[in-house]
Structure 1
Amino acid sequence: MAHALLSAPSHELKSQIAKTYDAIASQYNAWTAPHHEVRLDYLNRLLPHLPSSGARILELGAGAGDPGTALLASLPGAHVVANDISGAQLSLLRTRLASEISAGKVETREGDMMDLAFSEDDLDAVVGLYSIIHLPREEQGEMLRRIGKWVRGGGWLLVNFSGKASEGSVQMGWLEEGKESQNAMYWSSWSPAESRRLVQEAGFRIEVEELGGEEGPGVNFLWVLAQKVE
């Protein structure tokens, strides 16, 4: 029987995602730490393309700020808007990066990424790692179209998608092995070809496109680094 979340309204789905990430913050951060090398590899491919000083960057799904937000905030004069749906994760980020927040290099915005708003051409880059995959498929294209308006001509997008299509899947007790749990996690994805098309339709020219970054048996991702067409 299909899980009720698969047919739930978007706001209920997001509420459950936030609740689950709040509940498993420590487990998730410990689980993902061994994969930081993959994230850092792609982030370091982005950095040379950013302004030498004063870059404005939006990070979708910033989590606890390690390693992405910390690296982006280390750029000279950078201002990073760190968004996450989990209040628990952003609380950890605020503790970890308190000095960067005090210096005005990092600000946090809690909530659904679909509720964010920026002016056109406001950002030099948007980073979305393991985050857009939590949106229902019909919202993913709209999110990319908004990003295409927010990023200035010549700016950049670094994002990953699932390596295979899924209309939506739910896993109960994710990362809570050996424990009965009502916490549920949700993901969805288009095919790599469709995800690529959505990025291009949002106004980006793809510079890097790779399948890899495996985080478990049979789990891989489409990694995209793309430049906004001027």
Structure 2
Amino acid sequence: MKKSQSEIEVSYDRVAEHFADEFYGELSGKPFDRELLDIFADAVRDRGLVCELGCGPGQVARYLKDRGVEVYGVDLSSGQIECARRLNPDIAFEQGDMLALDAPDSSLAGVISFYAIIHLRREDVPGAIRRIQRALRPGGSLLLSFHGGEGILHKDEWYGKPVSIDVTLFERKEMAGYLEAAGLEVERIVEREPYEFEYPTRRVYAFGRKPSQA
């Protein structure tokens, strides 16, 4: 595991309970996000298994499961996985790294990742998306969310605890380029302004699809 990834793991372990308390119920106040999740759920329902990468306490997996999606979650942080399992005993969660997605090629109907790719170094993003592309079945769907902008933000304190977390910002054109270079079709990219209770960055959502076999 790369140093930056180990720092992320330790940091999220340290704040896992606080993070779950703040974010597990967040979707109730985010109608835009719920609408996009409904679109994704409609695309993958009854088509097979879906992986949520960077699942945290499992609020997105929970939302999808409640809408008939067969989903499991993966997170780098063992603390986050413990919270996810406690809060969602009917969903499978496992510790893992999105840089080395442990899923057979062409095995997944969909991959969803909300605000996890932001914790990768920019140079690692193309490889992560290529791995996702390989794991998707032909016709499989991808939904990524990230913070819009340029550069990197850094957090060294969270919930009163010391952390070391970098947040990589992406412009929509940049992310579209990564998806296309990995062999994914970019269906659409949408964005919204932050809600008043969120960090003041634009929120961007990219829908991709693995081309169907001829």
TM-score if structure 1 supplies the norm length? 0.81
Give per-residue Cα distances to partners, 1:131-185, cap 9 Å, x unaligned.
011011111111111111111111100001221121x3321103x2xx4x43221
1:205 maps to 2:200: no
Residue 192 of structure 1 aligns with an amino acid whose one-letter code is R
Within the alignment, does 1:172 sit opposite 2:172 as a pair?
no
> Using the alignment, how far apart are the partners of 2:63 and 2:24 within structure 1?
15
Residue 163 (1) aligns with residue 163 (2): no
Candidates 19, 29, 40, aligned match of 1:28 = 19
Gaps of 5+ in 2: none
What displacement does 1:58 show?
Answer: 0.8
Over the aligned positions, Cα root-mean-square deviation in angstroms equals 2.1
Closer, same or farther: CA 33–153 of 1 in aligned 2, 3 Å: same
Aligned to 1:218: 200
Counterpart among 91, 107, 129 of residue 92 in structure 2: 107
AA aligned opposite 1:121: S
User: What is the distance in 2 between the residues matched to 1:161 and 1:28?
Assistant: 18
Partner of 1:152: 137
Whether the aligned pair in 1 keeps the contact of 2:24 and 2:58 (CA below 8 Å) is no
Larger of the two Rg values belongs to structure: 1
Rounded to whole Å, the distance in 2 between the matches of 1:109 and 1:214 is 30
8 Å Cα contact 1:165/1:192 also seen in 2? no
2:67 pairs with 1:85? no
Q: 1:217 to 1:23 in 2, by over 3 A?
A: closer
Identity of aligned residues (%): 22
Residue 59 of structure 1 corresponds to 52
Q: CA deviation at 1:33?
A: 5.2
Question: What amino acid sits opposite 1:207 in the alignment?
Answer: E
> 1: CA distance between counterparts of 2:74 and 2:112?
10
TM-score normalised per structure 2? 0.86
Regions of 4+ moved over 6 Å = none
Equivalent position SS for 1:214: coil
Please list the CA deviations of residues 105-136 of structure 1 after superposition, one character each: whole Å capped at 9, or x if unmatched.
Answer: x3222132213232221100000101011011
Distance 2:55 2:104 in 1: 21
Aligned length: 207
Q: Is the counterpart of residue 13 in structure 1 residue 4 in structure 2?
A: yes
